[in-house]
Amino acid sequence: MVRSVAIITISDSCFKDNSKDTSGPILLEIINKKFPEANIHSIIVPDEKEIIERELKYFSRSNIDLVLTTGGTGLSPRDVTPEATKAVIQREVPAIPVAMTMSSLQKTPMAMLSRAVAGIRDKTLIINFPGSKKAVVECYDVVSSVLSHAITLINNELEEVRNVHDKMQSNHVCPHNKVSNVDISKVALRPRESPFPMLEMPEAFNIVDAVMLQWVEGIEILPLYECIGRVVAQDLISKEPMPPFPASVKDGYACLSYDGAGVRTVRAAVTAGETPATPLATGECARVNTGAPIPLGADCVVQVEDTKLIKASEDHQTELEVEILVAPQPHQDVRPIGQDIPSGSLIVKKGDVISAAQIGILAGAGYKEVPVLTYPKVGVMSTGNELQEPTDSNLRPSHIRDSNRTMLKALLNEHGYSSVDCGIARDEPGELARALAAALARVDLLVCTGGVSMGERDLLKPVLINDFNATIHFGRVRMKPGKPSTFATCQVRGKTKFIFALPGNPVSAYVCGQLFAVRALRACTRRTGGFARMGVRLERAHRLDPRPEYARAQLQFPALDELPVATMLGNQCSSRLLSACGASVLLELPGATEDVKELAAGTIVPALIIGRIDNLSTL
């Protein structure tokens, strides 16, 4: 058990430039959450070897279980944290920095430049973390699962060591054998208040964005047609010019502009797709249609409307002479080679999200497949003893059909993400642990619903914590619907798994599925998590809830210079999914205050665009 932790932020800039921008507060927040019972110390010192040594010795003398340093592990002359640490530790634990480096190297080669050290002085475990905020979060995630056990071992707490070993023996890697450490037999002992702090929405979004940075994308090559909405992994260059030959822009006659106006002999006819057989000479022209190649010798096209037929064959099958009524300009109505896209030019930039227009350009340039960034594998799971498959023909007494799973799969699909169906898990610790283990073995990001509130069978959070050693980044958010929304990560075979455990009420699942799961996927696949926001006017007065509310609404567009009017979709209670049908925006309504309890009709409120914007009045 970790009873006391010291965080030492090592940073010259805090002293020289008075900078407050360090990784210390993030580490402090993580440790506070992970070990809420522990005594936590946090200090900031400059990059001075003697001072760092002095503080490490001080905390070890004070019997602090765990000292985490952040900063000063790099290559600059002032980076001396590893030297100070080596000078004080009595036994090194080299595999800890090795594990951190191995994991960080998957994300950035810069990890090679960290010289972090870990070791033990007396009964204190000391670990160096790098100084960047992102690296601290990542490195902590790598070591988090062994910290408690390491400290138990250092302190020779035999009983506890045996317990952990027993647990590990029973926790086979195989998901089918997984058992749970959660005991639900003593219902009277369950907490009556949620132990999770209530976060404000912006805080929750920041956490999701920061944690999703841990997603490490790969590259896959997909057939062109499947690339819509995907992020291109490398610059794509045109391999051929477009057009590949000088092409006519009009239906008319290819001529020599130098000949001016007047009568021409019609020498040939070229339609699109044919190659002109003979070059033109002065006084000649060739009949061409749009997209046809211009014969050699010609330098312009005169549209058919600016010509007059002078002479035709007797059977009218051949034009022999035409008069050019308006003297043409050189290059008139000719698209030269490469006018649209020159050969070798950049047609799609690395990082672009491929649109239908770009698919057209790539198809035109002969690309059959495209390297794109991989998406996380997403899974959708429902939890609840009352749930039946939606396809079951008979509904058993006291049961309901599982609508969330199908709805969430469709919602993800709407945003371009396919998902794996991870079924229904019952509200039994062992069954839930097995279902989660099986799901997490298959996917990178799991969206599940149900079981996150305060009910005696709401087991998601305890099972994640006790059976998966998960970090719960948040377990309660001040929002309506969706207060018990939970976001967690855990490690499975060295990979970070992301879990959004959403409340089971269908509207909560829908709204939180958008605001958390879809947003997180957008953040790590398109680098633009947030939805676009616009101002809209409330059609009717609305009584505010104490919590900020996300109300489903449709829009009506009155006139070009007026804001759209938002119509809420009926009773907004969280079990009534009809209130989300046809919603194109979520209105961000503030929580009620002493002064403002209601918003009048016509009030301008922000609206998040979550769906296709259709004009309500034309529906």
CA distance 148 to 168: 14
Count of residues in contact with Mg ion, rule CB under 5 A: 4
Q: Which CB atom, from 66 or from 464, has the smaller least distance to ligand AMP?
A: 464
Site for ligand AMP (CB under 6 A): which residue of 449, 471, 489, 584?
449
Query: Can you state the percent helix, strand and coil of the chain, rounding each to 5?
Result: 30, 25, 45
293 contributes a contact to Mg ion by CB under 5 A: no
Q: Tell which one of 403, 469, 567, 603 touches ligand AMP (CB under 6 A).
A: 403
608 binds ligand AMP (CB under 6 A): no
Q: Is the peptide bond before 77 cis (omega within 30 degrees of 0)?
A: no
Instruction: Name the minimum Å distance from CB 380 to ligand AMP.
Output: 10
Tell the smallest beta-carbon distance from residue 428 to ligand AMP (Å): 14
Give yes or no for residue 132 binding ligand AMP (CB under 6 A): no
Tell me the per-residue interface mask from 496 to 515 with Mg ion, x by CB under 5 A, - otherwise.
--------x-----------
Burial class (CB in 10 A: 0-12, 13-18, 19+), 570: exposed
How far apart (Å, rounded) are the C-alpha atoms in residues 587 and 608?
Answer: 6
Identify the bridge partners of residue 255 per DSSP, sorted by sequence position: 300
**Torsion angle, CA of 381/382/383/387, rounded to 10 degrees?**
-140
Among 241, 246, 379, 451, contact with ligand AMP (rule: CB under 6 A): 451
Cβ(75)–Cβ(42) under 8 Å? Answer: no
Q: Cβ contacts of residue 444 below 8 Å, gap of 6+?
A: 215, 376, 377, 378, 495, 496, 497, 498
Residue owning tokens 């054998």: 177
d(C-alpha 307, C-alpha 309), whole Å: 7
Which segment (94-102, 244-252, 331-339, 403-411) binds ligand AMP by CB under 6 A? 403-411
Q: By CB under 5 A, tell whether 450 contacts Mg ion.
A: yes
420 binds ligand AMP (CB under 6 A): no
Which range in 38-46, 156-164, 171-179, 384-392 contacts ligand AMP by CB under 6 A? 384-392
Residue 450 touching ligand AMP (CB under 6 A): yes
**Measured from the CB of residue 48, what is the shortest distance to ligand AMP in angstroms?**
53
Angle at which helices 460-468 and 429-442 cross, to 10°: 70
CB of 543 to ligand AMP, least distance (A): 24
Asked if 484 interacts with Mg ion (CB under 5 A), we say: no
Q: In this chain, which stretch among 164-172, 240-248, 315-323, 499-507 interacts with ligand AMP, using CB under 6 A?
A: 499-507
Beta bridge partners of 477: 199
> Taking the complex as a whole, how short is the minimal distance between the CB of residue 510 and Mg ion, in angstroms?
16
489 binds, among Mg ion, ligand AMP, none (CB under 5 to 8 A by kind): none
Q: How far is the CB of 174 from Mg ion (least distance, A)?
A: 27
3-state secondary structure labels for all residues of 138-192: HHHHHHHHHHHHHHHHHCCCHHHHHHHHHHHHHCCCCHHHCCCCCCCCCHHHCCC
Number of residues that bind ligand AMP (CB under 6 A): 19
- Contact between 504 and ligand AMP (CB under 6 A)? yes
Strands 91-92 and 585-589: unpaired
550 φ, ψ (degrees, to nearest 5) = -105, 100
From CA 499, how far away is CA 465, in angstroms rounded? Answer: 12
User: Which region among 27-35, 248-256, 451-459, 482-490 touches Mg ion (by CB under 5 A)?
Assistant: 451-459
Q: For binding to ligand AMP (CB under 6 A), which residues are involved?
A: 382, 384, 386-387, 400, 402-405, 449-451, 453, 455, 458, 503-506
Q: For binding to Mg ion (CB under 5 A), which residues are involved?
A: 384, 450-451, 504
